[in-house]
Amino acid sequence: MSTERNQNDGSKRKASNSKPERTAHRGNTGTSFSLFTAGAARKRAEFTKGQMGDTLDDAPAVAKVSKMSIPIKPLSIDEWKKLKAEGYNKTRFEVSMMEKLLSTRADVDVAKSLLVFVTMETGTVEYELLLKYLALCVQKQHLSEVLDLYVIMNSRFKVLDVGAYSLFISGFSKTDHWREAVMFLDSIKKMINPSPRNYGDIIISALWHKEVETAWRLFKEMEDKNLKPNEDTLLAFFDCGKSFCDDQYENKMMYILSYLRDNQIYPGEQLMHSIHSWFESIPGNRWEGHVTTILHSGECQVCNTILESIQLSEEEYNLLRKRVMNDIIQGTDIFKKTTPQELQHFQTFVQNRLPFDVVIDGLNVANITARGNQSRIVSILY
């Protein structure tokens, strides 16, 4: 059930009766990323060295991963120099190393010591390296670091890419600054359509902060863009719904259930239990939920209701066939695609060779690769 989910997974929000934990705050501290700026590199290096203390001598500093040695604890400047000298790809050593730290879910302090080394060597940290460090901070839930990184990257670079905005959405949405994630979403919209994850991160945070209208507006926006919400986004609506006891919210939940039905989206077990729990939590209603098995006939063994068939009726099939022919194949102006004679020939050809099991679109197959003679590929298919 939802309460067990939140108790067992520390990275998730708490149960609906508890306030969500928000611990990250904007501003620089002794451990903030702002110490990586060129003017404070030495100070950060000294701080890192002090934090390490004598632990550098307690255990091996690096471990072998593939062809590259990966540090398992923060390194000093000299140790990074030695590791770089031993590396097989010295030109992109820092970026390759940060990618390895990200893929192995390394300690953020190891990545910080790498950035100290880069700053001491070059006086700055390039965008690509900062972006990968940001991804590690989001992955490891170092939210204060994410907030500081936005201040740094926003001041240093005129434009951020979609990847950076997506990471900031993921990080900010888990803090008290979650409303700023809406601004990042708007920035992504100017470049491409945001992903369901982009929307979902903000919707979940809005719901846990009881900003239902914001969450609902973004959900409807997803629907307008034909984006399918992730299951954890839907889960948040029902988990948080237990604290909203009004008809308006209940209508929204019924709309979501109709949305799942109309789009043939089948909830997983976790979402199923959350829907069940939400129904039973509605005051004044005596809903009961039961796990059931549907017979091959479509009948529910608990309520004996026959489920709606997903098969098209004859009338629906004929309507679909006519719409495909009229709106897609023929179109509003037949002369843009073919001639009336050619269309009639095609219809006769199809009618005389029914039924078809597989239909191959020759032109799309020909465009799979840029190499080769496309007309020859199409002719072979035909």
Predicted local distance difference test score (pLDDT) of residue 149: 96
Q: In one letter, which amino acid is 136?
A: L
In sign, the C-alpha dihedral spanning 260, 263, 264, 268 is: negative
What SS3 string covers 32-62? Answer: CHHHHCHHHHHHHHHHHHHHHCCHHHCCCCE
Does residue 378 surpass a pLDDT of 70? no
Helix (H) or strand (E) holding 283: none
CATH class label, 1-12+176-286? mainly alpha
- With a cut of 70, say whether residue 66 has pLDDT above it: no
| pTM confidence score | 0.68
Q: 121 or 369: which carries more pLDDT confidence?
A: 121
Q: Which one is predicted more confidently, 59 or 261?
A: 261
What six digits make up the tokens of 331? Answer: 């179109």
269-300 pLDDT, tens digit each: 999 999 999 999 888 778 888 888 889 888 99
Q: Which of 184, 163, 176, 21 is nearest to 102 (CA)?
A: 163
- Average pLDDT of 119-127? 93
Output the pLDDT for position 54. Answer: 44
The answer to whether the CB of 240 falls within 8 A of the CB of 207 is yes
Per the listing, tokens 């004598």 go with 54
Q: If you search the block for the tokens 């063994």, which residue do you land on? A: 301
Under 8 Å CB-to-CB from 68, ≥6 apart: which residues? Answer: 87, 88, 96, 97, 100
Reported in sequence order, the residue ranges of 46-160 that DSSP labels E, i.e. its strands, are 62-65, 68-71
**Where are the domains positioned within the chain?**
1-12+176-286, 23-157+167-172, 315-381
End-to-end Cα distance, the chain: 55
Q: CA of 170: how far to CAs of 113, 218, 238, 292, in Å? A: 24, 15, 21, 37
User: What local confidence, expressed as pLDDT, does residue 340 receive?
Assistant: 81
User: What pLDDT digit, counting tens, does each position of 336-360 carry?
Assistant: 767 888 888 888 988 888 888 888 7
Top mean pLDDT of 176-180, 307-311, 317-321, 373-377 is at 176-180
Number of C-beta neighbours around residue 262 at 10 A = 8
Q: For residues 275 and 32, give the distance between their C-alpha atoms in angstroms, rounded to a whole number.
A: 42
pLDDT band at 127 (very low <50, low <70, confident <90, very high): very high
For 38-48, write each residue's pLDDT tens digit: 334 344 444 44
Higher pLDDT, 307 or 63: 307
Q: Which residues contact 181 (CB under 8 A, 6 or more apart)?
A: 168, 169, 172, 173, 201, 202, 205
Tokens of 271: 């979402």
